[in-house]
Amino acid sequence: MTTPGPSADDDYWRRPAAGGPPGAPDRTDAPSPAPNGGYAGPPPTTPPPANWSPPLHVQPPPPRQLPGQDMTALDLAEQRAQRVTWTAGAIAAVVLLALSCALCVRLVR
């Protein structure tokens, strides 16, 4: 069970006293504590050198050229597909019309 309050294990992590013992870390670069114990912000950072960049290990090959397209052949194929679609739709419409006429004739009798 732990007891509230400071213990001997926490002494290592405490700030040194104002004068500080010899060999204590220098805290001149540490950010000053925020007023009222709030967050003082992140510590200062040093930017990387201006010419620094991550190492580049693999150079991808340049993109390949796509084969040319025959636009007239594509247009003809599209027209054929459109004709097949219209024909199938017309046949379905005729069949549905014949079925509905047959159903209506049967209901009238």
Q: What share of the chain is helix, strand, coil (3-state, %, to 5)?
A: 45, 0, 55
Please check whether residue 58 is in contact with residue 52, taking contact to mean a CB–CB distance below 8 angstroms. no
pLDDT digits (tens, 9 = 90+) for 55-84: 888 888 999 999 999 999 999 999 999 999
pLDDT digits (tens, 9 = 90+) for 9-55: 777 777 766 666 655 555 555 556 666 777 888 888 988 888 888 88
Please give the pLDDT value at position 54: 85
- Dist. CA 29–CA 46, nearest whole Å: 13
88 versus 59: which is more confidently predicted?
Answer: 88
Please check whether residue 43 is in contact with residue 31, taking contact to mean a CB–CB distance below 8 angstroms. yes
> Which parts of the chain fold into alpha helices (H)?
71-108
- Dist. CA 31–CA 20, nearest whole Å: 18
Take residue 61 and report the two structure tokens written for it: 């090959």
Please give the pLDDT value at position 96: 97
| Amino acid symbol at 63 | P
